[in-house]
């Protein structure tokens, strides 16, 4: 091997090493960040009715006429899986079960108005926001 080959190999190795993920951006750290984001979204958009722990007794639920569902039991009530697709559709008002006159806001129409108080009230719900919220709901299951 020539000196030139060794230098080129060393430079290439250094560049490739710089392209790999650092431990602070590992999959676990990313998952933790999305769950934290989901918890924030839940706290701002859901906790008033579904309760801070997700058990369905938030302060705004008192005058609704019907108790909001217990979200910590989603997995238990659905064969050991959180029904992510159903929850997404329900929150966006896209299921037959949705009652347009009911207390559950149609977030596809109103958006995440507490998460984005200066915008997004016209139906803006980012896919990443939903994934984070669903990831958080997975963590509170009993």
Query: Contact, 112 vs 129, CB < 8 A?
Result: yes
Distance separating alpha carbons of residues 137 and 134, to the nearest angstrom: 5
Q: Is the pLDDT score of 16 beyond 80?
A: no
Distance separating alpha carbons of residues 79 and 17, to the nearest angstrom: 44
Computed over every residue of the chain, the mean pLDDT equals: 78
pLDDT of residue 14: 43
User: Of the given ranges (12-16, 71-75, 79-83, 136-140), which has the lowest mean pLDDT?
Assistant: 12-16
Distance separating alpha carbons of residues 104 and 79, to the nearest angstrom: 24
Domains of the chain as residue ranges with CATH? 27-139 (1.10.760)
Query: Contact, 60 vs 46, CB < 8 A?
Result: no
C-alpha radius of gyration, the chain, whole number: 22
Question: What digits encode the pLDDT tens for the residues 22-45?
Answer: 444 566 776 899 999 999 999 999
What single-letter DSSP state applies at residue 20?
Answer: S
For the chain, give percent helix, strand, coil, nearest 5. 55, 0, 45
Query: Contact, 64 vs 135, CB < 8 A?
Result: no
pLDDT of residue 8: 46
Question: What digits encode the pLDDT tens for the residues 54-78?
Answer: 998 889 988 888 888 899 999 999 9
Of residues 121 and 64, which shows the higher confidence score?
64
Q: Is the pLDDT score of 1 beyond 60?
A: no
φ, ψ of residue 124 in degrees (nearest 5): -75, 110
pLDDT of residue 50: 94
């Amino acid at each position: 091997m020539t000196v030139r080959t060794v230098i080129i190999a060393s430079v290439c190795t250094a560049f490739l090493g710089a392209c790999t993920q650092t431990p602070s951006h590992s999959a676990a750290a990313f998952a933790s960040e999305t769950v934290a984001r989901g918890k924030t979204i839940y706290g701002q958009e859901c906790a008033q009715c579904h309760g801070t722990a997700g058990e369905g007794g938030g302060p705004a639920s008192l005058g609704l006429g019907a108790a909001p569902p217990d979200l910590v039991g989603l997995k238990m009530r659905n064969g050991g899986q959180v029904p992510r697709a159903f929850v997404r559709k329900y929150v966006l008002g896209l299921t037959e079960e949705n009652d347009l006159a009911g207390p559950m806001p149609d977030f596809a129409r109103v958006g995440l108005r507490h998460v984005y108080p200066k915008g997004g009230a016209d139906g803006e719900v980012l896919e990443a926001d939903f994934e984070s919220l669903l990831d958080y709901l997975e963590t509170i299951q009993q």
